[in-house]
Amino acid sequence: MRYIDDTVVMKRMKSRLKVNKFWKAIFFIATSLALLALVILLIRILSQGMSYLNWDFFNNFGSRFAEKAGIKAALIGSIYLMLVIAPVSMILGVGTAIYLEEYAKRNKFTDFIQMNISNLAGVPSIVFGLLGLTIFARMLFLGKSILAAGLTMSLLILPVIIVAAQEAIRAVPKEQREASYGMGATKWQTITRVVLPAAIPGILTGSILALSRAVGETAPLVVLGIPVILQFLPDSLLSEFTTLPLQIYDWAKRPQEEFQFVAAAGIIVLMGLLVVMNSIAIFIRNKFQKRY
Amino acid sequence: MVELMIKNSDQINMKSQKQAVSPMINRVEKNTVFGTKNFNLWYGEHHALKDIQLDIKENDVTAIIGPSGCGKSTYIKALNRMVELVPIVKTSGEINYRGRNIFDSSYEVEELRTKVGMVFQKPNPFPKSIYDNIAYGPRIHGIKNKKILDEIVEKSLRGAAIWDEVKDRLNQNAYGLSGGQQQRICIARCLAIEPDVILMDEPTSALDPISTLKVEELVQELKDNYSIVIVTHNMQQAARISDKTAFFLNGEVVEFDYTDKIFSTPRDGRTEDYISGRFG
């Protein structure tokens, strides 16, 4: 007695293959739509902004006149901001990840911390802006400075860096640690000589991607009251500054049509910066990744 | 069948046979390296080692055999306290290394592991050059002098019988070597800390027969200078290379004796069943 009847199988074959094809088409359309949106965005931005991209655009400060408006203060401000965020968030983030993965015993308390870190990654950025306003701007009197904004942004991306670093550290095989401990190495020696060298590509990749998120972020800066337009360069970590996304936002909301083109030029600069950062992340991942 | 019946029925005969054999081989009592007294170990609720009594002697190759899950790997990992990497482990009783209880709170685990090296089941070189792999141990113990490191690397690689194969490519990544070569690199890396005891946890289970043979020959050479404890699944291997054999079953030592005795005239029926392949 056979349970599978060949004639029934053949009868259903056609409709099964049809369903198969249908879903393939759906997924292809989904992918195409995303690509299409990206292509339209790029074409629009490039056609509007390219003519405004010249040396003056990089070398001028903001202006009431579109042809004189430049991005110097915003570009320098964004780079300064990164210089604060990168060390602060990486030292705190990697340190936390090492503690949680290598030192902390697994118990209810560490599970609770772990859960909260994952949840923090999903908290809206404007909430971090309010936190930064309360703690850094008001309580620590840092005002609208690069330092206040940098520390706020560091908090914002800290959970992402912690989780990325934890995953990179966890990916180092147990056997590697055993080999090191087996020769009488201390925990610290094992971390610095075996675990971190193997985990650093993953840690750097995650950190750079998180950093690019911070560079494109606007909401926390709006809450902190960071000015959108400035006529001078910051001279220390405590001076006022502006950033690319804020400057672009200011241009985009102006009524004059020419400013739309200036905004587009600003977006090209911001996207260029992000492409460079992501390329560095991909390069590091491909070049230094260790295979076991 | 007839032989078996005689063996089982005539215990007294067997004992006298043993006494007759011993002086002929002229077995000297050697110093104890590891003295295990009433040692128990639990993984959470699971009682993995029960009341272990076992003395491991100097310059012996001591083989530990037994079916999967019998606690043989757990025991060897207790000897360098590697077992503590599992957070839920509890122990009672003593393991004395050269007379000092290694589970004593004043015994630093780093100090113990400098004296008691380990070779693992799967070759686990670091993703570094061959040279840096061997120099890892000396470096963590503070040796920076390049000349001394060079000498240690050469001596260790010669000691692990792999110097001639790798001397021209010390700066290449150890991952480019074959599995058998990697395992001998790991043995060399272990020799580089100049240990007193070498623990080997199924060192040939991931290797092909020729590489296995090389590692076995190496163990025979190393026993002149080191005490070796080797866990193995392979009974022929235990018979070939060890001086003494301990048979573990369900977390207990069923029998511990000279290897030739264990394999010719085991005292316990369970040992006989295991070595004759009736289970495990």
A18 touches B: beta carbon within 8 Å: no
In a domain, B19, yes or no: no
The total number of structural domains in chain B stands at 1
Question: Which of B114, B126, B173 is most worth mutating to test chain A (most A CB atoms within 10 A of its CB)?
Answer: B126
Helix, strand, or coil (residue A240): strand
Q: Contacts of residue A193 in chain B, CB cutoff 8 Å?
A: 136, 140
Yes or no: say if B246 and B253 are a contact pair by the CB < 8 Å rule: yes
Digit-coded pLDDT (tens) for A31-78: 999 999 999 999 999 998 888 888 888 888 877 777 788 888 899 999
Q: pTM for the full model?
A: 0.81
Q: C-alpha A69: how far from its chain's center?
A: 28
Residues 197-236 of A with CB under 8 A from B: 198
Q: Contacts of residue B186 in chain A, CB cutoff 8 Å?
A: 179
Query: How many helical (H) and strand (E) elements, i.e. helices and strands, does chain A have?
Result: 12, 0
B205 touches A: beta carbon within 8 Å: no
* Three-state DSSP string of chain B: CHHHHHHHHCHHHHHHHHHHHHHHHCCCCCCEEEEEEEEEEEECCEEEEEEEEEEEECCCEEEEECCCCCCHHHHHHHHCCHHHHCCCEEEEEEEEECCEECCCCCCCHHHHHHHEEEECCCCCCCCCEHHHHHHHHHHHCCCCCHHHHHHHHHHHHHHCCCHHHHHHHCCCEHHHCCHHHHHHHHHHHHHCCCCCEEEEECCCCCCCHHHHHHHHHHHHHHCCCCEEEEECCCHHHHHHHCCEEEEEECCEEEEEEEHHHHHHCCCCHHHHHHHCCCCC
Instruction: Please state, in angstroms and rounded to a whole number, the distance separating the CA atoms of residues A116 and A120.
Output: 6
In a domain, B8, yes or no: no
Min distance B108 CA to chain A CA atoms (Å): 10
DSSP A257: T
In a domain, B170, yes or no: yes
Residue in chain B closest to A288 (alpha carbons) equals: B127
Residue in chain B closest to A192 (alpha carbons) equals: B140
In a domain, B80, yes or no: yes
A287 touches B: beta carbon within 8 Å: no
Per-residue pLDDT of chain B (280 residues; tens, 9 = 90+): 444 444 444 444 444 444 444 444 556 778 899 999 999 999 999 999 999 999 999 999 999 999 988 999 999 999 999 999 888 899 999 999 999 999 998 999 999 999 999 999 999 999 999 999 999 999 999 999 999 999 999 999 999 989 999 999 999 999 999 999 999 999 999 999 999 999 999 999 988 999 899 899 999 999 999 999 999 988 899 999 999 999 999 999 999 999 999 999 999 999 999 988 877 5
B72 touches A: beta carbon within 8 Å: no
In a domain, B130, yes or no: yes
Q: Which domain holds residue B113?
A: 31-275
DSSP A281: H
Structure tokens at B71: 């606690």
In a domain, B6, yes or no: no
- Sorted by sequence, the CB contacts under 8 Å of residue A8 that are 6+ apart come out as none
CATH of the domain at B140: 3.40.50.300
Q: Out of B82, B140, B175, whose CB is closest to A189? A: B140
Yes or no: say if B187 and B174 are a contact pair by the CB < 8 Å rule: no
Q: Contacts of residue A183 in chain B, CB cutoff 8 Å?
A: 113-114, 117, 136-137, 140, 189-190, 193
Asked whether the beta carbons of residue B126 and residue A176 sit closer than 8 angstroms, the reply is yes
Asked whether the beta carbons of residue B126 and residue A181 sit closer than 8 angstroms, the reply is no
B174 touches A: beta carbon within 8 Å: no
